[in-house]
Amino acid sequence: MKKIISTTAAPAAIGPYSQAVQLDHLVFFSGQIPLNPDTGELVTGSISAETEQVMKNMQAALAGANLDFSHVLKTTIYLTSMDDFATVNDIYGRFFPEQSPARACVAVAALPKGCHIEIEWIASSQA
C-alpha cells in the first residue's frame, strides 16, 4: 500500500506533490531545492550555500521516513550550470562517505524559484 511521508523538518511542498511516497520498502523523495524549512525562503549567496541547504533538507526528509543517507539507493542532481559540478560534488560527497548511491547529474535551463540546484532520490528501508 502507498504511504505519504511528510515532515515539518523539511520544506513543505510548493505544489501539488508529496515530500515522499513509500511503497513497500522503497521511498521515492521529491526534489529538494535550497529552501529554509523554518522561513520558506530560498537560501542564496553561492552554490555552496545552496548545496548545503539541499543536503540538510534531504537529511530532514530522510529522517521523516525514519531513514538516513545510508538508505539512499539513487539520486538525481539538477544543476543550472555544470560549472558548479565540482563544488556540488565535494559537498555531496561529505554526506555519502561510504557506499555512495547510484547517481545522475544533469544540466537544466531553470529550476523552481530561480535556485541553482535540486536533488531527488530513492531510498530503501531495507538498505
- Assess whether 115 carries a catalytic annotation: no
Whole-number pLDDT of residue 81? 98
User: Quick one: how far is CA 72 from the chain centroid?
Assistant: 11
Residue 34 pLDDT greater than 90, yes or no: yes
CATH (residue range 2-124): 3.30.1330.40
Percent of residues, the chain, with pLDDT higher than 90 = 93
Confidence of residue 82 (pLDDT cuts 50, 70, 90): very high
Whole-number pLDDT of residue 50? 98
Confidence of residue 14 (pLDDT cuts 50, 70, 90): confident
Question: H/E element holding 72?
Answer: strand 72-79
Residues in Cβ contact with 38 at an 8 Å cutoff, skipping those fewer than 6 apart: none
**Bridging pattern class, strands 72-79 and 102-107:** parallel
Give mean pLDDT, residues 23-39: 97
| The C-alpha cell that represents 127 in the structure block | 538498505
Residue 127 pLDDT greater than 90, yes or no: no
Residue 8 pLDDT greater than 80, yes or no: yes
The rounded distance, in Å, linking the Cα atoms of 86 and 99 is 19
Number of H helices, E strands in the chain: 2, 6
Q: Please identify which of the residues 26, 73, 105, 122 carries the catalytic annotation.
A: 105
Give mean pLDDT, residues 72-97: 97
In three-state secondary structure terms, 16 is coil
Confidence of residue 2 (pLDDT cuts 50, 70, 90): very high
Whole-number pLDDT of residue 98? 87
| The C-alpha cell that represents 59 in the structure block | 537529511
- Domain residue ranges of the chain, discontinuous segments joined by +: 2-124
Q: Which residue has the higher pLDDT, 1 or 65?
A: 65
| 91 class by beta-carbon count within 10 Å (0-12 exposed, 13-18 middle, 19+ buried) | middle
Give mean pLDDT, residues 63-78: 98
